Structure 1
Amino acid sequence: MSTDHQYALTTTWTGNRGPGTTGYRDYDRDTVVAMPGKPALLGSADAAFRGDRGRWNPEDMLLAALSQCHLLSYLHACVARGVVVTAYVDDAHAVMAQDGNGGHFVSATLRPRVTVADGSMVDDAIAAHDDAHEWCFIANSVNFPVRHETVVEIG
């Protein structure tokens, strides 16, 4: 049985300095991403593409989506396996290759450091990352490898 879920948001360009896009250097890449009931997300292009490095860019958001999706899938997998997680931090990294005016992501590596309540849970805590990878909607939607380098600690 298949269930469809719908998502909608509004992205508004806020970078018009007055003359619009009269030239490549004549406008800012600033955006606001909004959804009803959620805080606005200030976006821009990557700094390498004349964006504001203080705002989220699409490449950041893709990596953030992969990391957060894995985390949420992982917590569910741990509940299913009887693993009590008390802390989780992921230092995620992605690589994008640029070729001319285009580019594509070639890999992402998630580096979750997980703390579990008891030493008897370590093996299942490690195995739960495979479950999470299989269940992660975002990882299942990209065309590049998403790897995991996991550390499990006892808290």
Structure 2
Amino acid sequence: MSKTHQYHTQLVWTGNTGEGTRAYSSYERSHTLSAENKPVIPGSSDPHFRGDSSRYNPEELLVASLSSCHMLWFLHICAAQGIVVTAYEDAAAGFMQEDADGGGRFTSVVLHPRVWVKGDEHVIQKANALHTEAHKKCFIASSCNFPVRHEPVCFAAE
């Protein structure tokens, strides 16, 4: 039986400097993202598009969503299979191609999970293999029209 889930967020543009969008350079790209009972996320555009580098941009949030979703599925699968993960980190990278007309698209995202597990080499190999299953389960990756790869490295926890 399939289930449908809804997600609600609120976006508020905070970049009106008093002139609105009179000109491309007359406004800031600053905005806030929020969801009920959660901290506000300061957003902007990428600095290449006149954004504020101290705020998250949509491209970073997409890459972070892929990284987070993959990790959550991986941890779930490991727990279900009796693999004890003691630490997890990822240095994800997203690649976007800008078109001549200013539009563009992501061409790929590569996740680089570094995972520490309790156990011997057999457990480490099994944990590395579970990244494929996590990738297949990831809601965000399954929704993308570009490749999302993972290049995991697993270590024995001390």
1:68-99 superposed Cα distances (whole Å, 9 cap, x missing partner): 00000000111122211000010100100000
CA contact (8 A) 1:113 1:151 kept: yes
Alignment of 1:17-36 (within 5 A): 17-36=17-36
CA contact (8 A) 1:81 1:124 kept: no
Cα separation, 1, equivalents of 2:59 and 2:75: 25
What TM-score comes out, normalization by structure 1 length? 0.98
Q: Is residue 112 of structure 1 aligned with residue 113 of structure 2?
A: yes
Tell me, what secondary structure is at the counterpart of 1:62?
helix
Matching residue's letter, 1:60:
E
Tell me, what secondary structure is at the counterpart of 1:65?
helix
Residue equivalent to 2:62? 62
Cα separation, 2, equivalents of 1:91 and 1:101: 27
Which one of the candidate residues 136, 139, 142 is aligned to 1:140?
142
Cα separation, 2, equivalents of 1:118 and 1:79: 14
Cα separation, 2, equivalents of 1:109 and 1:35: 28
1:33-54 superposed Cα distances (whole Å, 9 cap, x missing partner): 1111000000000000000000
Unaligned runs of 5+ in 1: none
Cα separation, 2, equivalents of 1:19 and 1:126: 54
Matching residue's letter, 2:2:
S
Residue equivalent to 2:132? 130
What TM-score comes out, normalization by structure 2 length? 0.96
Tell me, what secondary structure is at the counterpart of 2:71?
helix
Residue equivalent to 1:48? 48
CA contact (8 A) 1:94 1:107 kept: yes
Cα separation, 1, equivalents of 2:146 and 2:88: 24
Deviant stretches of 4+, over 6 Å: none
Unaligned runs of 5+ in 2: none
Cα separation, 2, equivalents of 1:103 and 1:41: 24
How many pairs does the alignment contain? 155
Q: Is residue 149 of structure 1 aligned with residue 148 of structure 2?
A: no
Cα separation, 2, equivalents of 1:80 and 1:128: 11
Give the share of equivalent positions with the same residue, in percent. Answer: 49
Cα separation, 1, equivalents of 2:38 and 2:63: 20
